[in-house]
């Protein structure tokens, strides 16, 4: 699910329905009428809601199990698949910019729909000629695709349960960040049971380079095949190994210990109850 802003002013409601999407202007979120704040993915990582937990959980209502985090990563990848090469511009795409609606009281906080966050995008309002020039420029620059590089980092952070900002990822240029992510992936995902997940991350990091072997005229169609086969399918295979027993839209209740860590430190993301305008609909189980 994503939130996009037309001309940076009006919320744009976007819902994926199988392989298509529809959109309509909305002013308020009817999905979680009691939500009064939002929590970023970075906040949840810092609040230790992604611990190193066993494969089978007796109660993961307060934490992300491996199945939960892998489903979240799969949903994020599917969103980018549908948005790829379309008239969209990401406002930003780091864990601190990905948010979840939440209901906060004086004693508790419930994070809604833990597997389907809100991501901010804007429509590119440009003339056709300018669009073509910009796309050509983006693809010439070493076939660098920042969104897929960002997704690779997020997938690693979900697996590790911590932000890589503390490990030197902040401020690196794209080639250096790619090297860092590959190094961390080689170390942290060396166990064979994570092969599919590791391959998906590598698919993100090498996406542009894989296009070098495809004739230019065939690239538009082949790009989507690469995304599907090298990223989506691998994430789907990995998720099926660790499938969560919870429903996809299950809420997350922060523990008293997490609450004691200064609840006000859980800063709402730039999404707020006036701009969030998404009706959650499950993404397709397979593209």
With respect to residue 281, please indicate whether it lies within any of the assigned structural domains: no
Q: Are 25 and 103 contacting, i.e. CB atoms less than 8 angstroms apart? A: no
pTM of the full structure: 0.75
With respect to residue 27, please indicate whether it lies within any of the assigned structural domains: yes
Q: Kindly give, in sequence order, each residue whose CB lies less than 8 Å from that of residue 211, ignoring residues fewer than 6 positions away.
A: 143, 219, 222, 223, 226
Eight-state DSSP code of residue 231:
I
Q: Kindly give, in sequence order, each residue whose CB lies less than 8 Å from that of residue 46, ignoring residues fewer than 6 positions away.
A: 163
Q: Are 155 and 204 contacting, i.e. CB atoms less than 8 angstroms apart? A: yes
Give the per-residue pLDDT at 63.
Answer: 86
Q: Name the residue range of residue 213's domain.
A: 2-265
With respect to residue 270, please indicate whether it lies within any of the assigned structural domains: no
CA atoms within a 13 Å half-sphere pointing along the CA-CB vector of 152: 30
With respect to residue 40, please indicate whether it lies within any of the assigned structural domains: yes
With respect to residue 222, please indicate whether it lies within any of the assigned structural domains: yes
First-to-last alpha carbon distance for the chain, in angstroms, is 15
Question: What is the C-alpha separation between 234 and 202, in angstroms, rounded?
Answer: 10
Helices (H), 167-246: 174-188, 195-205, 207-211, 219-226, 233-241
With respect to residue 272, please indicate whether it lies within any of the assigned structural domains: no
**Number of domains the chain is built from:** 1
With respect to residue 284, please indicate whether it lies within any of the assigned structural domains: no
Q: 246: closest CA among 93, 70, 95?
A: 70
3-state secondary structure of 1: coil
CA atoms within a 13 Å half-sphere pointing along the CA-CB vector of 31: 27
Question: What is the C-alpha separation between 285 and 143, in angstroms, rounded?
Answer: 30
Question: What is the C-alpha separation between 253 and 47, in angstroms, rounded?
Answer: 12
With respect to residue 157, please indicate whether it lies within any of the assigned structural domains: yes
Average pLDDT for runs of 10 along the chain of length 287? 41 43 45 77 90 60 87 89 69 80 86 83 61 55 70 95 85 87 94 95 89 78 87 94 70 68 38 32 34
């Amino acid at each position: 699910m994503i939130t996009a802003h037309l001309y940076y002013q009006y919320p744009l409601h976007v819902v994926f329905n199988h392989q298509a999407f529809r959109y309509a202007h909305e002013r308020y979120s009817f999905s979680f009428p009691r939500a009064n704040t939002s929590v970023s993915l970075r906040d949840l990582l810092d609040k230790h809601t992604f611990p190193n937990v066993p494969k089978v959980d007796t109660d993961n209502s307060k934490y992300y199990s491996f199945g939960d985090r892998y489903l979240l990563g799969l949903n994020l990848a599917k969103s980018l698949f549908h948005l790829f090469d379309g008239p969209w511009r990401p406002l930003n795409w780091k864990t601190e910019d990905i948010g979840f609606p939440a209901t906060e009281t004086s004693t508790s906080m419930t994070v809604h729909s833990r597997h389907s966050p809100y991501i901010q995008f804007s429509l590119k309002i440009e003339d056709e000629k300018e669009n073509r020039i910009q796309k050509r420029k983006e693809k010439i620059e070493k076939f660098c695709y920042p969104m897929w590089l960002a997704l690779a980092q997020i997938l690693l952070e979900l697996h590790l349960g911590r932000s890589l900002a503390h490990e030197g990822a902040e401020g690196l240029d794209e080639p250096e960040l790619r090297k860092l992510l590959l190094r961390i992936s080689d170390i942290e995902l060396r166990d064979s049971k994570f092969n599919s997940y590791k391959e998906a991350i590598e698919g993100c990091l090498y996406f542009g380079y894989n296009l070098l072997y495809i004739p230019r005229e065939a690239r538009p169609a082949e790009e989507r095949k690469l995304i599907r086969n090298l990223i989506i399918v691998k994430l789907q295979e990995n998720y099926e190994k660790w499938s969560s027993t919870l429903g996809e839209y299950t809420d997350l209740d922060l523990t008293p210990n997490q609450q004691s860590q200064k609840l006000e430190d859980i800063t709402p993301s730039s999404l707020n109850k006036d701009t969030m305008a998404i009706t959650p609909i499950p993404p397709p189980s397979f593209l």
